[in-house]
A and B are shown apart, each in its own frame.
Chain A
Amino acid sequence: NAGVMQNPRHLVRRRGQEARLRCSPMKGHSHVYWYRQLPEEGLKFMVYLQKENIIDESGMPKERFSAEFPKEGPSILRIQQVVRGDSAAYFCASSLTSGGPSDTQYFGPGTRLTVL
């Protein structure tokens, strides 16, 4: 499977627990983006990472959310002390480059987070 991979596909957490979402980009892609889609709402950018670097985190909530993309392994989106409002679909996308006008982002299947 050469596409963007995300796991788990579904995640259920109780309020106050931690959620860890993983994303492996397409083969050869080194740029990773996280987006969130709240129920009945559009996709919202959260964070843009390259290996070992956060490039843009302007869409990340100031508290409880963090992201990383280590030198080895998948990108991780971490949500601490989850609340019911965190229930959403979290999508990861990857791209080959970051500069060309035709550079495109390809999305993974998403992780559906449900907070009880």
Chain B
Amino acid sequence: QKEVEQNSGPLSVPEGAIASLNCTYSDRGSQSFFWYRQYSGKSPELIMFIYSNGDKEDGRFTAQLNKASQYVSLLIRDSQPSDSATYLCAVREYGNKLVFGAGTILRVKS
């Protein structure tokens, strides 16, 4: 069973700070990685995907991928209280299914 590991948190950051969310995965052959945000009682919402080593930026979000270390991260700059949610890391397995981590709870305090 392929595994995706995340620190469950909660991760607390002050408003305006950078939030750093981390994820490791067990399958060295994994190619595509996704970050979803899930508010309590709601469905997962896609934030970003990444499949090449390095950084990918989209607005206040930056995804970072290091395949050699089997590590993917999400940075949120200028964190806002509305960013408070659970962040899910997902890895696509062969056959197209997503394997999710348990999620990291982020709390942004104003």
Q: State the A residues within 8 Å of B (CB).
A: 31, 33, 35, 41-45, 48, 55-56, 58-59, 91, 93, 95, 98-99, 101-110
Contact = CB atoms under 8 A, between A and B. Distances in A.
Contacts of B96: 31, 33, 48, 55-56, 95, 98-99, 103
Tell me which of A45, A58, A99, A106 has the highest count of chain B C-beta atoms within 10 A of its own C-beta. A45
Nearest to B86: A42
Interface string B76-110: 00000000000010100001111111110000000
Nearest to B95: A56
A48 B43 contact: no
A108 B88 CA distance: 16
Contacts of A59: 97
B45 interface: yes
Nearest to B48: A104
Interface of B: 31-32, 34, 36, 42-46, 49, 51, 88, 90, 95-103
A35 B99 CA distance: 10
Given A42-B103, A103-B96, 20 more contacts: A33-B96, A33-B98, A42-B102, A43-B44, A43-B88, A43-B90, A43-B100, A45-B99, A48-B95, A55-B96, A56-B96, A56-B97, A59-B97, A102-B32, A102-B51, A104-B34, A104-B49, A105-B34, A105-B46, A107-B46
B95 A104 contact: no
